[in-house]
Amino acid sequence: METVCVEVEPNRNAEAYRNYQPAGLPVQVEKHLDFIELCDDGFMLLGCSNLTGRLWTGSVWYFLDPDSAPNVEKCLTGIECETGVSDGKFLEDKQKIIIGEDSGLVQVLGLSESADEHTFRFESLNSVCEHDDGILSVSVFSDRTRALTGGSDMNIKVWSVESLTSEHTYRPAHLHQVSCVCAHPQDGSSIFASCSLDGMAFIWDTRNAKPAKVALCDGSQELTAVAWQMSRSDMLAIGSRSGEVIIADIRQLKEPLGVSDCFTRPVHRLRFAHHRPELLAVCADDSKVKVLDCTARAPNIIYADDHHSDFVRGLAWHSRKGTLYSCGWDKQVLAHKLVVSPNKMEVNGIIEEKDQELK
């Protein structure tokens, strides 16, 4: 009996997926909101990713009023990206931004206005892909001429924003993925901090032949987030996978200034406030948002909110209003207006006595 062989393409849509090009303005904001960023004028940058569809794309949105996010009808403009967007920052003015994608791509986007229709749109000014894996963190130096990225490839790169060329590449910067990088808020373009799942946190100075100095070394903990205090050049906050927040003084690193068991899950992001530098916002692989007062030896939780229904991913302070904004994988952007009272803690808008520690 003769056997007839028929060749069937395993995936008839393969060519369509390979040649996929994202559209200009996305149709909708994806559910998984990954980061928010506010410029000095209060304009909001919102980044999100599609983690459940056939195409794991992402998008970036620009809102003039942060309270209108994530309503797509009230945005100024948006742009779809080929892969998920992990982090992004404003550059020298509110017209340019830099983003890092899951593909390892770094991209500078600019706002352009259509004279005929009086509408705005994002256009790609420059892009480069030099990371070997996804970018996890993006930061911009205070002079806005240089940016840095850290990724799952264990590398850190320092970029010239104008040409988007890498001026410094630290390969490998850590022994595990670089979970967070943060440029110094006062130094122009040389000093930054990084942390990794290898349990190390470093202070870097790109001007030195040996640029890295150990800020924290704890092989028993995986470090997940780092942030500088806005007014003090020597104060650093570090988050861990165990949920601890560690406050360190880089002038004396023998022991931390304070430790708070803020969460029981991995800390995801840390943000110090502009208007009150002692306030530190924290989110984790949890639905809660918490704010710590870092003036005491042991940082105290003074605010807690659990109105998110999924993991909180992004935090940003409004520099003029003092309002804290958060976003998460529940497709919500929430505004938190804190009322700071001595010996009291605000929980979901209700001020209570500090008689118990929130977990």
H or E element at residue 280: strand 279-284
- The reported pTM is 0.89
- Can you tell me the distance from the alpha carbon of 159 to that of 157, in angstroms, rounded to the nearest whole number? 6
**Does residue 196 fall inside a structural domain?**
no
**Does residue 44 fall inside a structural domain?**
yes
Give residue 354's pLDDT.
59
Give residue 2's pLDDT.
55
**Does residue 304 fall inside a structural domain?**
no
Closest alpha carbon to 58 in 112, 109, 5: 109
**Does residue 104 fall inside a structural domain?**
yes
Give residue 272's pLDDT.
97
**Does residue 66 fall inside a structural domain?**
yes
**Does residue 183 fall inside a structural domain?**
no
Low-confidence ranges of the chain (pLDDT < 50): 6, 8, 355-359
The sign of the CA dihedral 125, 129, 134, 137 is: negative
**Does residue 113 fall inside a structural domain?**
yes
Range of the domain at 37: 24-127
Each residue of 325-340: b (16+ CB within 10 Å) or e?
A: bbbbbbbbbbebebeb
Give residue 19's pLDDT.
55
- Can you tell me the distance from the alpha carbon of 247 to that of 260, in angstroms, rounded to the nearest whole number? 9
**Does residue 300 fall inside a structural domain?**
no
Contact 124, 139 (CB under 8 A): no
DSSP code of residue 15? H
For residue range 190-205, what is the model confidence (pLDDT) as tens digits?
999 999 999 999 999 9
The sign of the CA dihedral 318, 340, 236, 195 is: negative
Give residue 347's pLDDT.
74
Q: How far apart are the first and last CA of the chain?
A: 71
Contact 194, 201 (CB under 8 A): yes
For residue range 229-239, what is the model confidence (pLDDT) as tens digits?
988 778 999 99
Give residue 357's pLDDT.
45
CATH code for the domain of 67: 2.40.128
Domains of the chain: total:
1
